[in-house]
Structure 1
Amino acid sequence: MGAESLNNNTDKPLLIYLDGVLYDISPFASKHPGGRKVLEKVSGTEVNKFMKGEERILGVKHAHSDAAFEMLLKYDVSKEHELDPILSSKRGILGQVGSLGNDYWRWIHQPYEGTLRLFDSSLLEMCTRTAWWIIPSFWLPIVSIFTIKSLYHLYESMGLFSGAIVWATFFIAGVLTWTLTEYLLHRFVFHWVPSSQSPAQLVLHFLLHGIHHKTPMDGDRLVFPPVPAIPIVGFFYLIYSNTFPWPIFCAFGSGKLFGYVMYDCIHYYLHHGSPRPTTHLHFQKVYHHNHHFKDYDVSFGISTTLWDHVFSTVGMGPL
């Protein structure tokens, strides 16, 4: 029995933009005269040009009537947000998310442009917010220290050229290991489907990743705070330092930590940066945007799409 039948909370929103306003037309999709597949093709995009008949969808142009534009108004996500007692509450919402039940899955995938208060306590609330620049400022000096240690020991034992090759090999291996870790975490942990009957599971999922899909543009909750990250890094320090010889560990560990830093910085940029069209970063931005607004069951890679290709979860880039 699949997750959907077990939990009954996996209904997908079908999101489109019209003149910059976000609409969830999933309740209308089965009634659409052109069929649901037409709407799925343009989900996550601005549809003004398609509705006016200026561009083709699946080979067909169709200028929609004024009635169609008026009909769309009832699916305005912002109006749903205005009536949402959780979003309008000035209290911390963690105590309320668990009560959503079967509505939770669709609720978190209807993006909210604002920010949400998690805790009633101002101190706890402050601890949930982290500026993006804190991540490289905190972790890159540690990456540098272990890189220098590795190069120094490898130079002493192998010479400059051979030592540099060995360092580069294990540093790159560390970066690649991080990208695989990132993919697996995103796909199997962050996108785990909680039971709609378990308030505790709903709250845990919301803290892990649900809040990011609900408020994807909240810039202070896009990176992982260093304080809770320290014990996680310490755990892997113990594993890797007892697995590899010291200079190899320093190269591999610094590479993996560097990969994590790049991941957090790239993720922030994909949400808040403005890369030039046709560049690789523009492709990545649209690719990740489509994960949020088109199909959240694919496009799990942030730093790279490599593992999406390996595991057949490739999403869509720019149209």
Structure 2
Amino acid sequence: MIDRALIKNAGNNQQKKLEVQKQMKVDNNTIRMVKQDKTIEFNSIKEVQNLGESDKNLKLIVFEKKVFNINSYIEIHPGGSQILEQYLNCEIDEPFNETGHTVQAKQLFNEIPLIGFLKNEPQNSIQQHDSKIPANEAKDFRLNREIEGLNGYVITRKQWNPDYEKGLIWQLWKAELSIDQYLAFIEEPKALLNRKGHIKMYDNKLLQLGVQVHWSHAIFGWVSLILYNVWQAQLSITDQVLSLIFGFMIWTITEYCLHRFVFHFEKIWAPPTRVFQIFNFITHGMHHAFPNETYGVITPVLPAMLFAISIIDPQARRIIPEEYAGIVLAGFYLGFLTYDLVHHFLHHSSPQNNYFRNLKIYHMQHHYKNGNAGYGVICKFWDKVFQTELKK
């Protein structure tokens, strides 16, 4: 005889699955939220687990009794996807709070698709709650509103709210923000949940094309310059290797100083001018406002190479003996290329190697926990020397 309870449970689970499918649409394995009239009420954590295990496109977590589908977010989680994978279909309140997430991190839940609510307190609940949210009041807690024209970005703002169909630079210039408004905008990380959209910096198509740099462009440009300098060297293999390493080390201290004193100049002094805001936003502010923007990490190749050839190269050759200058510069440029690529993949991949996995977590702490420390990107050495190392 078939157990009627099992049939009833299977029927309930199928009904919830159908409700989720009505709320969602699947496009190239990417689940995106569409306008919904209601949320699902789950009677137990077991129901959440059953639903999550029944559909590979659902990656569910429960936070503060809200059930979220993190399918579109898991790969860009600052700590890597592996961390979230171990908590799928579970309540994450305790590990979330123990990790010491910031207010900004908690606000990211406003951008993640909300599936429903956990009705009853499970027996093995991690965290007790004094109140429950009835399903009939849970219309859509995911957003205060959706910003049209964002092409994938879902942002809840209380301060500056630009039009994402237009270039941000010109809007920032016209907005005449106070310095506090500007800093609030760039210091609140905003998640990219739909990879089809990209932040528009400029209305001019040529300028916009110049900042949309693929990582392969950096390899092609900088490797050409590196090989040219190596080819010109008239040194022994030993001297070439030592000079190359020396140039690379010069880059690491340059990287630290640039990141700390130029890119984060606002930590030292933030003049209340539009010129400062534009300069800061172009150089680094945009990257902190949208840390997961695909085209927001790699340095525009053409302007950077022109600067290197016209400014860095002649100045270096005045200081470094001629026979060593080319190969030292090659090491310096190799360091810069390494920085650019490592920085990109820290943001847009889940490293399996222990060193790079720890480096990713370290750099994400700089973005999501403490922007006043952790300036090293390819290594922590200078953070340790100058006592700006982030502590776990």
Q: Same fold (TM over 0.5)?
A: yes
Inter-partner Cα distance in structure 1 for 2:143 and 2:385: 37
- Answer yes or no: is 1:191 the counterpart of 2:264: yes
TM-aligned CA distance change 1:78 to 1:214, over 3 Å? farther
TM-aligned CA distance change 1:251 to 1:272, over 3 Å? same
TM-aligned CA distance change 1:228 to 1:66, over 3 Å? farther
Q: Secondary structure at the match of 2:188?
A: coil
Aligned equivalent of 1:175? 248
Q: Deviation digits for residues 197-217 of structure 1, max 9, x if unmatched?
A: 312211111111100001111
Aligned equivalent of 2:356? 281
Aligned equivalent of 2:155? 81
Q: Secondary structure at the match of 2:328?
A: helix
Q: Deviation digits for residues 83-111 of structure 1, max 9, x if unmatched?
A: 56634442212123242212111111112
TM-aligned CA distance change 1:295 to 1:68, over 3 Å? farther
Amino acid at match of 2:241: A
Inter-partner Cα distance in structure 2 for 1:77 and 1:179: 43
Could you tell me whether the CA contact under 8 Å between 1:82 and 1:88 is conserved in 2? no
TM-aligned CA distance change 1:167 to 1:83, over 3 Å? closer
The structural deviation recorded for 1:225 is: 1.3
Q: 1:110 aligns with which of 176, 188, 193?
A: 188
Aligned equivalent of 1:253? 329
Inter-partner Cα distance in structure 1 for 2:284 and 2:218: 18
Could you tell me whether the CA contact under 8 Å between 1:216 and 1:271 is conserved in 2? yes
Length-normalised TM-score, structure 2: 0.60
TM-aligned CA distance change 1:40 to 1:202, over 3 Å? farther
**Which structure dedicates a bigger proportion of its chain to helix?**
1
Could you tell me whether the CA contact under 8 Å between 2:143 and 2:156 is conserved in 1? no
Length-normalised TM-score, structure 1: 0.72
Corresponding residue pairs, total: 265
The structural deviation recorded for 1:82 is: 4.2
Amino acid at match of 2:155: H
Q: Deviation digits for residues 276-305 of structure 1, max 9, x if unmatched?
A: 27x000000000111111111111000111
Inter-partner Cα distance in structure 2 for 1:69 and 1:39: 24
Inter-partner Cα distance in structure 2 for 1:192 and 1:96: 22
Could you tell me whether the CA contact under 8 Å between 1:87 and 1:116 is conserved in 2? no
Q: 1:264 aligns with which of 319, 323, 340?
A: 340
Greater gyration radius = 2
Inter-partner Cα distance in structure 2 for 1:139 and 1:205: 25
Inter-partner Cα distance in structure 2 for 1:272 and 1:248: 36
Q: Which has the higher contact order (CA 8 A, sep 6+)?
A: 1
The structural deviation recorded for 1:316 is: 3.6
Could you tell me whether the CA contact under 8 Å between 1:301 and 1:308 is conserved in 2? yes
Inter-partner Cα distance in structure 2 for 1:173 and 1:230: 20
Amino acid at match of 2:127: A
Query: What is the alpha-carbon root mean square deviation over aligned residues?
Result: 3.5
Inter-partner Cα distance in structure 1 for 2:292 and 2:254: 24
Amino acid at match of 2:323: P
Inter-partner Cα distance in structure 2 for 1:216 and 1:118: 14
Q: 2:225 aligns with which of 133, 142, 162?
A: 142
The structural deviation recorded for 1:39 is: 8.1
Q: 2:314 aligns with which of 203, 222, 238?
A: 238
Q: 2:100 aligns with which of 31, 41, 44?
A: 41
Q: Secondary structure at the match of 2:215?
A: coil
